[in-house]
Amino acid sequence: MSPLSDGPLAGCELVVFDKDGTLIEFHAMWGGWTAALAADLERAAAAIRPELAGSVAAALYRVMGVDPATGLVDPHGALAATPMAVLRGMTETTLMQAGLSPAEAAAAVLASWHAPDPVALARPLADLAGLFGTIHRSGAKVALATSDDREPTERTLAALGVATLIDASVCADDGIPVKPAPDMILALCRRLGLAPARTAMVGDSAIDLRMGRAAGVARCIGVLSGTGTGPELAPLADAIVGTIAELLPGG
């Protein structure tokens, strides 16, 4: 196999990408999803207990760490790297704290819960097909390690037209320990028959890069397109770029 020969990915035979904030715009996806979920929960909770009208949405925004005025997500909040199953549990707890019984909270969440709509909300941060195609033409492989669940992840990749360009993926509900544990990367390396020492991890948050370090990858590359800042990523990164568009020579 001929590895990538130049740029931040030089020498790597496998490039593992995070999804939200790395491949797609984080705030548009999760800020929009929170707004839609808050509206649905507000209606469901008020139908059960009318006195809760006007209070549930504000509580959910606080718990998720989303500014209701701007839709911006707190980089240190729950949405930054929390699996969907945990977010759902946090949502039920929020409703119980607002005044619903456990059974009422579970019913309201059951009526309202949905995954982000990739067609409406997913905004790619680069020419993903072009980037993945260039990596493949170099002889390297492309993989995905995400804190999102598999079903919405696969819908997102399909909506973006790149599902067939991902050689392997690991999602939060696959039964593998999640970030920052190294297991997602190690599972991808085993599946593709490649060594972590020939792998790059690309992500927008410190938790992505800590996963890469724990797995022993060759290169941890931070991107500033999501939740992480330069000072947060620098101690863990071998390189920092503005977006994934800068990963390849001439990018």
26-54, pLDDT tens digit by residue? 888 899 999 999 999 999 999 999 988 88
- Region 60-73 average pLDDT: 92
- Region 70-79 average pLDDT: 86
Domain 14-25+122-246: which CATH class?
A: alpha beta
pLDDT at position 83: 87
For the chain, which residues make up each domain, given as ranges? Answer: 14-25+122-246, 27-117
- Region 191-210 average pLDDT: 97
pLDDT at position 119: 81
Q: Residue 73, exposed/middle/buried by CB under 10 A (0-12, 13-18, 19+)?
A: buried
Q: Which two tokens stand for residue 48?
A: 């059960």
Q: For 138-190, how does the pLDDT look when each residue is reduced to its tens digit (9 = 90+)? A: 999 999 999 999 999 999 999 999 999 999 999 999 999 999 999 999 999 99
Q: Which two tokens stand for residue 26?
A: 């984080």
Q: How confident is the model at residue 1 (pLDDT cuts 50, 70, 90)?
A: very low
- DSSP letter string, the chain: -----SSTTTT-SEEEE-SBTTTB-HHHHHHHHHHHHHHHHHHHHHHH-GGGTTTHHHHHHHHHTB-TTT-PBPTTSGGGT--HHHHHHHHHHHHHHHT--HHHHHHHHHHH-----HHHH--BSS-HHHHHHHHHHTT-EEEEE-SS-HHHHHHHHHHTT-GGG-SEEE-TTSSSPPTTSTHHHHHHHHHHT--GGGEEEEESSHHHHHHHHHHT-SEEEEETTSS--HHHHGGG-SEEESSGGGSSTT-
If we measure between CA atoms, which residue out of 160, 168, 170, 169 comes closest to residue 128?
160
pLDDT at position 250: 62
pLDDT reading at 196 higher than 90 = yes
The number of beta carbons lying within 10 Å of the beta carbon of residue 237 is 25
Q: For 80-126, how does the pLDDT look when each residue is reduced to its tens digit (9 = 90+)? A: 778 889 999 999 999 999 999 999 999 999 999 988 888 888 899 99
Q: How confident is the model at residue 211 (pLDDT cuts 50, 70, 90)?
A: very high
d(CA 172, CA 150): 7
